[in-house]
Amino acid sequence: MNSQTRILDFKAVSIVFLAIICLLVTCANVMAENRKPNFIFILSDDIAQGDLGCYGQELIKTPNLDRMAAEGTRFMQGYCGTSVCAPCRSSFFTGLHTGHCPVRGNYEVAPEGQLPLPDKTVTIAEVAKSAGYATSTFGKWGMGYFDSSGSPFKQGVDHFFGYNCQRHAHSYFPTYLYDDAQPFLLPGNDGQKVGKTYAQELIQNDMISWLKTNSDKPFMMFYAITLPHGRFEIDDQGIYKDKPWTEKEKNYAAIVTRLDSDMGELMDTLRKLGIEKNTLIVFSGDNGSSFSPKSEIGKRFNQARNGLRGFKRGMYEGALRQAALAWWPGTVPAGRVDDQPWAFWDLMPTFVEMSGVKPPKGYETDGLSLVDYFKGGKAPQRDYFYWELHNGNRPVQAARFGNYKAVRNGIDKPVEIYDLSKDSAESNNLAESHPKLVKKALDIFSDAYRPDPNWPLDCRSQKHSESSNQAWKIKQWRDKNQWVPENAVMRVPFKNSLGLDLVPIPFGKFVMGSPETEKPRRGNEVQHTVILTKSFYMGAYEVTQGQWESLMGNNPSHFKGDGKLPVEMVSWDDCQEFCKRLTEKDIAAKLILPGFKYRLPTESEREYACRAGTKTAFHYGDKLDSTQANFNGEEPYGGAAKNVNRQKTISVGSFKPNAWGLYDMHGNVYEWCQDYFGGYPTGEVTDPTGPEKGGRRVYRGGAWKFNAATARSAKRSLRKPSFVGNFMGFRVVLVREK
């Protein structure tokens, strides 16, 4: 083949290759264009128009939401479902106004949760699932506990993370949250004040993680973010720390800005994933102004700067018009400010049109699709908007028809009429001079209200009152006793009062002991299955000399150093006293809850945590040399090369941790375990704790003085509990007592 032929062949191959690339790119673009759009609805609890810079706020900084408004549409007459939490969320989730919605007020249910959505209700999540969407809810659920018909998983939600109950959500530093239906502990929190673990941080992180995991498929996300609802707790006041304001004012401003930064992270993540042009975000509050204009926060931040009357729990415009933004780059017009009305229950049919789905049987909505409107068209026309709210013993109602607004503050109260085109502040009641409008309003009230025994219009039902009273009593008891669910797991790492990093170890099942092929196996390492039913915290490394001295007032160690060396020359009995004092110290500091305690790990806990899912001789594999752990480097294991023999302890955490973040599991100092030494069972056991009596205690791991074989995951050793040595140390676990 001559050079000219080779050149021609190369060109031909190049042309074919480029054609294939172009075809693939074209197919990818077509697939992207044909993919169903994603939908994210963000419901910020108590955010108001007056809190955001894009609506005129001057003191609180909200650059990301201002950017969302500049890149999308800002609405001046976006209406919430009603003016408090649960019914507002339910109106969105069901596509029904509060005359038809099964939840029309905050109906508390004991011991945890709110009045559940009924089985027959078709929710937006169920509609989304029927269209092949992944579905999720983050933040505050409040539409039924997990054992009820209102469980998120019975209403179409694939994944939930946050607070199930809105009473529980009053704390930003609660003692526990839920990942799906699994409760997990938030260390360093007592649920009463600012603690160590900020719930919103965890919720935001899980939301971003879910978003990344599901970005390759259509998804519907409901982010019911708790910020900035009271109790106005935050662990960092940020740019407001030195403002000449009250602590409450600084906290509120910081919470709003934290909300803003989280929204910025969400938008940036969509862009990084390349799906921003296929994702509609609707951001809103669940009521209008949250505070009286005469209140501390209302005055400081001029929250009612829009001139509207009323605030949360009312039926006037100031309570019902909420901060509302739509963002969908390339689809929703950028920089648009619109004054046409719409309401939460319109988002259900909007999603139905966006997704192209045929709604499942039982689907019902009071709304109208906003797809054309969001794209820059006109808002859909309708006969009326309707709201009711069952708060206290006097349900209230409102309706808007055209430019007229009707308000009735109780069934025994007169109807008020306002012309919003001339009087958005609702200061001029036209009822006396316009009896026909009053009649029309009464006809709407009658037409829109669907009788429901849970929601009578003349009073609060006795069942409702009794349920709420019982629920609040339980809440108060739980707060006083710092209650956490019995099945709450330990999942969030934290640092205790001594600066010791504690790592959550999940419950699980593993094979304890060593196979017969593992040398130099002893007969007391018989393999058997162990089930650990409770999660626990374990020290990421051995207790150091600095930590020991801080608590015990002395340093018994032979190899003294800068405080980062492991403590040694401690007996099993000494460790018991250390754990007792540490428990008392951390309970007093409210870093751990009453009912939790530090102790030594059981032998099964120590091996399970050391293995971290591995089945080899070491968590590193079947070889070990002294570049991986501190032992006698002249006696490695499994054919590994000889290496340095340090002949002393070294700083904790000097080597790579195992898969669960635990350091020094195969060397430095041996570690005492809680158990007496005894023979292994041959069958499956659950939560073993060793013999009830004995003369010697178990210790595990490896030490600077001994060979690698003694550091195997399954290796067992025993000493009298009074023994001390310069190779004997320990690490702690934190457990919930039975």
Give pLDDT tens digits for 97-112. Answer: 999 999 999 999 999 9
pLDDT tens, position by position, 187-211:
999 999 999 999 999 999 999 999 9
* pLDDT value at residue 6: 45
Regarding whether 571 and 448 lie in a shared domain, the answer is no
Q: Does the pLDDT of residue 594 top 80, yes or no?
A: yes
Q: Does the pLDDT of residue 33 top 80, yes or no?
A: no
Q: Does the pLDDT of residue 738 top 90, yes or no?
A: no
* pLDDT value at residue 18: 54
* pLDDT value at residue 153: 98
Could you identify the residue written with the tokens 């058997």?
Answer: 528
At 11, the pLDDT band (50, 70, 90 cuts) reads: low
Regarding whether 154 and 226 lie in a shared domain, the answer is yes
Q: Does the pLDDT of residue 220 top 50, yes or no?
A: yes
Regarding whether 560 and 453 lie in a shared domain, the answer is no
CATH of the domain at 454: 3.40.720.10
At 32, the pLDDT band (50, 70, 90 cuts) reads: very low
Q: Which residues constitute the domain of residue 597?
A: 493-736
**Has this prediction a pTM greater than 0.95?**
no
Regarding whether 179 and 45 lie in a shared domain, the answer is yes
Q: Could you write out the DSSP letters of every residue in 170-229? A: G-SS-SEEEETTEEEE-TT--SSS--S--HHHHHHHHHHHHHHHTTTS-EEEEEE--TT-
Regarding whether 159 and 94 lie in a shared domain, the answer is yes
Q: Could you write out the DSSP letters of every residue in 151-172? A: -GGGTT-SEEEEESSTTGGG-S
* 48 located within any domain: yes
* 316 located within any domain: yes
φ, ψ of residue 687 in degrees (nearest 5): 50, 55
Q: Does the pLDDT of residue 452 top 90, yes or no?
A: yes
What is the bridge-based pairing of β-strands 73-75 and 336-338?
A: parallel
Regarding whether 24 and 60 lie in a shared domain, the answer is no
Q: Could you write out the DSSP letters of every residue in 386-422? A: EEEE--TT--EEEEEETTEEEEESSTTS--EEEETTT
Q: Does the pLDDT of residue 17 top 90, yes or no?
A: no
At 605, the pLDDT band (50, 70, 90 cuts) reads: very high
At 28, the pLDDT band (50, 70, 90 cuts) reads: very low
Q: Does the pLDDT of residue 388 top 60, yes or no?
A: yes
Give the integer Cα–Cα distance in Å for 614 and 607: 10
pLDDT tens, position by position, 251-287:
999 999 999 999 999 999 999 999 999 999 999 999 9
Domain tally, the chain: 3
* 418 located within any domain: no
Give the integer Cα–Cα distance in Å for 41 and 326: 9
At 14, the pLDDT band (50, 70, 90 cuts) reads: low
Burial track 157-166 (b if 16+ CB lie within 10 A, e otherwise): bbbbbbbbbb
Find the length of the chain.
738
The dihedral formed by the CA atoms of 167, 168, 170 and 176, expressed in degrees to the nearest 10: 180
Q: Does the pLDDT of residue 26 top 70, yes or no?
A: no
Kindly report the CA angle at 27 between 26 and 32, in degrees rounded to 5?
100
pLDDT tens, position by position, 287-338:
988 899 999 999 999 998 999 999 999 999 999 999 999 999 999 999 999 9
Q: Which of 450, 481, 512 is the last residue of a domain?
A: 481
Taking residue 442's Cβ as centre, other Cβ atoms within 10 Å add up to 15
Regarding whether 60 and 28 lie in a shared domain, the answer is no
Q: Which two tokens stand for residue 466?
A: 């009794």
Residue 732 carries which side chain, given as an amino acid letter?
V
Regarding whether 62 and 14 lie in a shared domain, the answer is no
Q: Which two tokens stand for residue 483?
A: 């209650």
* 487 located within any domain: no
Q: Does the pLDDT of residue 1 top 60, yes or no?
A: no
At 23, the pLDDT band (50, 70, 90 cuts) reads: very low
Regarding whether 86 and 13 lie in a shared domain, the answer is no
Regarding whether 209 and 103 lie in a shared domain, the answer is yes
Mean pLDDT of the chain: 94
Cis peptide before 688 (omega within 30 of 0): no
Q: Which two tokens stand for residue 159?
A: 């994944």
* pLDDT value at residue 31: 43
Regarding whether 109 and 1 lie in a shared domain, the answer is no
At 152, the pLDDT band (50, 70, 90 cuts) reads: very high
Strand partners, 163: 140
Q: Which two tokens stand for residue 261?
A: 């930064």
For residue 282, how far is the Cα from the chain centroid?
20
Strand partners, 406: 399, 417
CA separation (Å) from 63 to 51, 182, 195, 203?
Answer: 12, 35, 28, 21
CA separation (Å) from 417 to 401, 425, 439, 666?
Answer: 11, 12, 11, 78
Regarding whether 157 and 15 lie in a shared domain, the answer is no
* pLDDT value at residue 34: 73
* pLDDT value at residue 392: 87
Widest distance between CA atoms in the chain: 102
Residue 124 carries which side chain, given as an amino acid letter?
I
* pLDDT value at residue 9: 53
Cis peptide before 228 (omega within 30 of 0): yes
Confirm if 175 and 484 have CB atoms less than 8 A apart.
yes
Q: Could you write out the DSSP letters of every residue in 78-141? A: EEPSSSSHHHHHHHHHHT--TTTSS--S--B-SSS-BPPPPTTPPPHHHHHHHTT-EEEEEEE-
* 79 located within any domain: yes
Q: Could you write out the DSSP letters of every residue in 427-458? A: -S--TTT-HHHHHHHHHHHHHHPPP-TT--SS
Q: Which two tokens stand for residue 199?
A: 């719930």
CA separation (Å) from 348 to 92, 127, 220, 353, 360?
Answer: 7, 9, 11, 9, 13
What is the bridge-based pairing of β-strands 176-179 and 159-163?
A: antiparallel
CATH of the domain at 563: 3.90.1580.10
At 22, the pLDDT band (50, 70, 90 cuts) reads: very low
Q: Does the pLDDT of residue 147 top 80, yes or no?
A: yes
* pLDDT value at residue 290: 87
Q: Could you write out the DSSP letters of every residue in 240-252? A: GTTSSS-HHHHHH
* pLDDT value at residue 562: 86
Percent of the chain with pLDDT over 70: 95
